[in-house]
Amino acid sequence: MPADNRYISDILAPSGVLRAGINLSNFLLVSSRASDGTPQGISPDMAGWVAAALDLPFVLVPFNRPGELANAVDQDQWDIGNIAFEAERAKTIAFSTPYVVIDANFLFRADAHFDQNEDVDSDGVKIAVSERSAYDLWLTDHFKKAEICRAPSIAAAHEMFHQGAVDVLASLKPKLLEEIDADSSLKMLDTPFAAVNQSIGVRQSISVRQGQPDIVAFLNDVIVRRIADGSVAAALKRHGVDTKLSIPDPA
């Protein structure tokens, strides 16, 4: 193993096993289960590629929601956390470049009149959103007039919309397109209000040490190589989500 990778291995996974935190609530990142119950998807695949680059075994540490994964950053539960970049999270987590990007859009009923995303941020408008998702944090930072109604999961946010408790549903675009397929009277604003950058995070405290290799730069190199060699595209196709996720330009 190159000396730089040996240093990164020792700092990142001192136990000798890379612990990868993954978010189970995002059906695009963890899209199925193996026969033994092991989560499968692009997020577990990315964890395996990082471990392989370090010549380490790895284990998946599942979290039911992204906020729980982010909250555990200093609790010695994971070594890398596969989670979306968000400015609030970046206070404690150093993020890699994204390996996939997911659009987040607004859905509403036919009798509502929203022509652009800014129209949704209006007095009296209620928006359902999955709590502590990257796009919930984006809305919290940017929307000041609308009421943000948080649900414990993506499915619960959709159910809140179906029950008529809110005017607008903020969710991942692929999931919203499924809603429109089921009910053509629903409308979606075509322009995403946010892009969810799925990245790899590490504790800020270990990301850079003076005179030592940069751990985030190492993670970026793994991601760029796997995008460039077609591994990410092949994995998305294998998991059946290749038409629902965007792959960043490796350049």
pLDDT tens, position by position, 159-207? 999 999 999 999 999 999 999 999 999 999 999 999 999 999 999 988 8
Q: What is the pLDDT of residue 115?
A: 95
Q: What integer pLDDT is reported at residue 205 of this predicted model?
A: 86
pLDDT in the model for residue 208: 76
Model's pTM, two decimal places? Answer: 0.84
Q: What's at 171, amino acid-wise? A: S
Q: In sequence order, which residues have a C-beta less than 8 Å from that of residue 36 and are 6 or more positions away?
A: none
Domains and CATH numbers, the chain: 3-100+197-238 (3.40.190.10), 102-194 (3.40.190.10)
Q: Which residue has the tokens 């033994």?
A: 36
The pLDDT score that the predictor gives to residue 242 is 92
pLDDT at 1: 60
The reported pLDDT for the residue numbered 210 is: 67
- What parts of the chain have a pLDDT lower than 70? 1, 3, 210, 251
Q: How far is CA 98 from the centre of its chain?
A: 9
**Nearest residue to 138 via CA among 69, 146, 183, 176:** 146
Rounded CA gap, 134 and 29, in Å?
A: 14
What is the percent of the chain with per-residue pLDDT over 70, rounded to a whole number? 98
- Both tokens of 72, joined, read 């555990």
What 3-state class would DSSP assign to 147?
strand
* 86, 134 contact by CB (below 8 A): yes
